[in-house]
Amino acid sequence: MPEGHEFVEEHLDDEAHLAQLGYKQELARSWSGFSNFAISFSIISILAGCLTNYTAAINNGGPSAVAWTWPILSVFILIVGFTMSELVSAFPTSGGIYWWASKLGGPRAGFYTGWLNWIGLVAVTAGVAYGCATFIDLTISTFSSSYEANYSLTRVFITFLIVLVATAVLNIFSGHLMAVMNNVSVWWHVVGATAIVLILVFVPDHHMSVNQVFTDRFNNSGFHDGGTTGGVFWFIILPLSFLLTQYTITGFDASAHLSEETAGAAMGAAKGIWQSIFYSAVGGYILLLAVTFAIPNGSDGKPDYAGVGGGGVGYLFNNAMSSNWAGIVLFISASAQFFCATSCLTSASRMTFAFSRDHALPASGFLRRLTPSRVPANAVVTVAVLAAIVTLPALIKVNIGTADAPIIVPTAFFAVTSIAVQGLYLSFAIPIFLRWRHGDSFQVGAWNNGRKYKWMNIVAVVEIIVVSVYLMLPTVPGGVPGNSNFSWKFVNYAPIVTLGALVLLTIWWSVSVKNWFKGPIHTIDEPEPPAEPPLRPEPAV
């Protein structure tokens, strides 16, 4: 066979499959299967979510919350990934989750799914970019005491805006450049995470015991008088730590959004989803255990959980080892988070393009416009601007301590990350449930779950609903209406955004959208199905 013939044939199969779904090839199909895996792996980014949301687990359960909730939730998330891999193999389009819901449940299901997914993608872009800015600030502060002395939320927000601008410029430059960056990002995460683990194992003078890591409980939430027993702790406080795992292992739908740019998408995008989850779950657990074992002792000779809960991993690294080692670890993490933010913006812009292609977003004609290099630049800029707007509350200082002993809580950051989790996972749940309802009549693609879908899809939906409900709860007592210390700056505004959006979408649908929105609009006439499918279904491994 002549060199390159197989590659061209694969592209023709992809275009034929896309044509069957009603679309012509508009985006450049320049991504390999590895690049498709790489973008989801980069967005999951164990060096981003594991470190930026570490305090969510420490404050709401302590070391044992980190040690046990991560592996347990990872198994459930992997099941979610398997169900989505089956869907993307059957329907490899940039609309991804929205397209699946429309195909399986009609225009209304697609409309709600698309908006939830889009809101989640904007929020995850905001959360990762803000986390990156925070770690850039921490890195510089670690190497410069004068810089640390002048800390301000405004400075971090300005850095956040610079990160958004930089990632937008890179995304607009070239879609192929993004594929290359994601390939580099995979190795940066692998080598960087390995380096951090080795540093945390060999550099600190002190490490916690295995018993402490796996059994110590801690409650710094402000609820239940700091208690670590009883139903309130196990069923209200501890589940707040779910944010660490659920936020970190998200964004893997990027493999679906980039499927129209991936060669061999029916297999490559499917593998990209579940493999990115699996390898991130394993690598993330090793990283989290290394961080937890390195928690330093306080002045009383006991593990300083309160210090870590208030100061995050920056406090942990700087008190567990010298500033030079801490700075190196923070630099590796900040760089990884920049890769992650860039990938998030890529994924969000592709979803924006696909949703606008079907006229489901305001100014759809503007948002779906491509540059000569076939990049949705207007969508890139729009997502970046909206990410900045949704993070504006981060400029408000939230201190749940006192003036002499401040405890600064990143309520806005936790809210943005909760919005990301709720928006994305709830959008996943709709097509996952609809696929289950279609049963054996569903025409599977080259990658499928066989008959295991019957229990996998139900387990996935239940897990998503349970976690989403918990992430709508107040994170501090001052955010509970009726509390004597109630203030709007303490409020977890995630449910306000998520539920508020659903209410507005319902009104809009009833008044207007149902009269004109018909779901995905084909850009070419859908051909008659071939005598034999272009891709032979094979059971997943």
Q: Distance between CA 318 and CA 323 in Å, rounded?
A: 6
Say what the pLDDT of residue 350 is.
86
Residue 354 has pLDDT above 50, yes or no: yes
N- to C-terminal Cα separation, the chain: 28
Q: For residue 269, is it within any domain? A: yes
Alpha helices in 174-264 (DSSP H): 175-202, 210-215, 230-232, 242-248, 254-257
| CB distance 37 to 383 below 8 Å | no
State which residues form the domain around 314: 36-517
CA nearest neighbour of 71 among 308, 242, 274, 255: 242
| CB distance 324 to 349 below 8 Å | no
Say what the pLDDT of residue 530 is.
43
Q: For residue 327, is it within any domain? A: yes
Q: How many domains does the chain have?
A: 1
pLDDT tens-place string over residues 357-411? 888 889 889 998 988 878 889 999 999 999 999 898 888 876 655 555 555 556 6
| CB distance 71 to 278 below 8 Å | no
Say what the pLDDT of residue 148 is.
60
Pairing state of beta strands 60-61 and 218-219?
Answer: antiparallel
- For 509-533, the three-class secondary structure string (H helix, E strand, C coil) is HHHHHHHHCCCCCCCCCCCCCCCCC
Q: For residue 195, is it within any domain? A: yes
Residue 274 has pLDDT above 80, yes or no: yes
What band does 414 get if pLDDT is binned at 50, 70 and 90? confident
Q: For residue 47, is it within any domain? A: yes
What type of residue is 456?
A: M
Residue 351 has pLDDT above 90, yes or no: no
Give the pLDDT mean for 458-469. Answer: 96
Q: For residue 5, is it within any domain? A: no
Token pair belonging to 507? 């009104």
pLDDT tens-place string over residues 5-17? 333 344 447 777 7
pLDDT tens-place string over residues 38-89? 888 888 989 998 998 999 999 999 999 999 999 999 999 999 999 999 999 9
Say what the pLDDT of residue 407 is.
54
Q: For residue 278, is it within any domain? A: yes
Question: Under 8 Å CB-to-CB from 75, ≥6 apart: which residues?
Answer: none
What band does 512 get if pLDDT is binned at 50, 70 and 90? very high
What type of residue is 346?
A: T
pTM score of the predicted model: 0.87
Q: Distance between CA 75 and CA 495 in Å, rounded?
A: 26
154: CATH: 1.20.1740.10
Q: Distance between CA 29 and CA 176 in Å, rounded?
A: 9
Q: For residue 538, is it within any domain? A: no
Q: For residue 121, is it within any domain? A: yes
